[in-house]
Amino acid sequence: MALSIVSYNVNGIRSALSKGWAEWVRTHGFDIVCVQETKAQPDQVDLTEMADLGYHAHWHSAQKKGYSGVATFSKHQPDQVVIGCGMEKYDNEGRIIRTDFGDLTLLNCYFPSGTTGDERQGFKMEFLEDFFTWAHELKQQRPNLIIVGDYNIAHTERDIHDPKGNKNSSGFLPEEREWLSKWFNSGFVDAFRHLNPDKVEYSWWSFRAGARKNNKGWRIDYQSVSEPLRDKLISARQMNEAEHSDHCPVLVEIEE
């Protein structure tokens, strides 16, 4: 049996729903759906369609209305749900939700973007270091760990359409890429790259200048799995055909 987990930065869940997102979910019947950038509180969203499909919903919204936020929808009710990571400055922005299913722990994450200036870039780098420490402490207690979401970093030149032109852009800065290398050398596996060493696929495109049509994108949405799960990976891919957002969904299938 394969467990299917899809992760999707929907850039506003209400917008995605208006574009047929719930019907798309129904067509695929994923076991778990992780959404980032919900930009909503649960009481602002009509999730009747998702409930009718049998999904249990768990939310972590930002304090600021219309900003950030993550939600996890699962066919099976989790054994435990933990909202946030216990660090107030990140939890106020609704960036992490943890769900446990048996001995498997899933983190649905929306990493900060640094594109609006130095202050937020500094916040992003602080988050990366704090997240690294926190996730590794969690891995000691819960070794079967899956961390999906929008990491807001393209790792290597294969993960971005114009590496030279973006070498000074937030999301492809040397220090960000070094952090991701450190991450993937510390007991976590990039599921997509592990299964597809040479494939070029992107998960985000700018809304400007026909970037998506011309496939001028970045791969910034990841599925990290801890080392014990490496050999259970079945498939991982970008679902480029889905168009409800400036991102596309990323799917991973894991042997149960």
Tokens 């891919």, residue located: 237
Query: What is the number of helices (H) and of strands (E) in the chain?
Result: 7, 14
AA letter at 202 = Y
Strand extents, DSSP E, 31-134: 32-36, 56-60, 70-74, 80-83, 96-101, 104-110
96 phi, psi to nearest 5 deg:
-140, 135
Which of 46, 91, 103, 150 is catalytic? The answer is: 150
Instruction: Give the β-pairing of 204-205 and 233-238.
Output: unpaired
Tokens of 91: 């939890």
Distance of alpha carbon 232 from alpha carbon 254, whole angstroms: 5
Distance of alpha carbon 96 from alpha carbon 210, whole angstroms: 32
46 noted as active-site residue: no
Distance of alpha carbon 167 from alpha carbon 173, whole angstroms: 6
E strand or H helix at 183: helix 174-184
CB 219 within 8 A of CB 155: yes
Residues 6 or more apart whose Cβ sits within 8 Å of residue 242: 8, 24, 248, 249
Q: Catalytic residue positions?
A: 150
